[in-house]
Amino acid sequence: MPSSGGAALYRMGALDAATMRDIDALCLPPRPDYGSVAVRRIRAATRMSQPVFARLLEVDKSAVAQWERGVKRPSGPAARLLELLDPERGESPFMQVRRAMASPA
């Protein structure tokens, strides 16, 4: 049943099922691992140049160029922002958590 870091506490009996559901609802889904093709696709969908896209993501313009060449991959907040900008993604991770928190326990 539980899949978060609190699973061990649940198995030991330190957390009840309702608390475990609350903890699970707060866990964000894993971030996609965006490669060069995906970064170019997302930037193209925004119709922004590399420098403007970099400013939007609050990264150096060389970072966007390196992502698109496949030299580096976006990580941390930049990867989560790409996920929000990705037109091919379904529901955003934030909406998934919000929906999970609103559903009855």
The span from the CA of 19 to the CA of 65, in Å, is: 44
CB atoms within 10 A of CB 39: 26
75 shares its domain with 42: yes
84 shares its domain with 97: no
- Alpha carbon 83 to chain centroid distance? 6
The span from the CA of 86 to the CA of 105, in Å, is: 31
pLDDT tens digits, residue range 28-68?
677 789 999 999 999 999 999 999 999 999 999 999 999 99
pTM over 0.75: no
Indicate the number of domains in the chain: 2
The span from the CA of 59 to the CA of 51, in Å, is: 9
27 shares its domain with 55: no
Q: What is the CATH number of the domain that holds 49?
A: 1.10.260
84 shares its domain with 98: no
Which residue range forms the structural domain that includes residue 100? 1-31+92-105
pLDDT tens digits, residue range 77-101?
999 899 989 988 877 666 666 676 6
Torsion angles phi and psi, residue 76, rounded to 5 = 55, -140
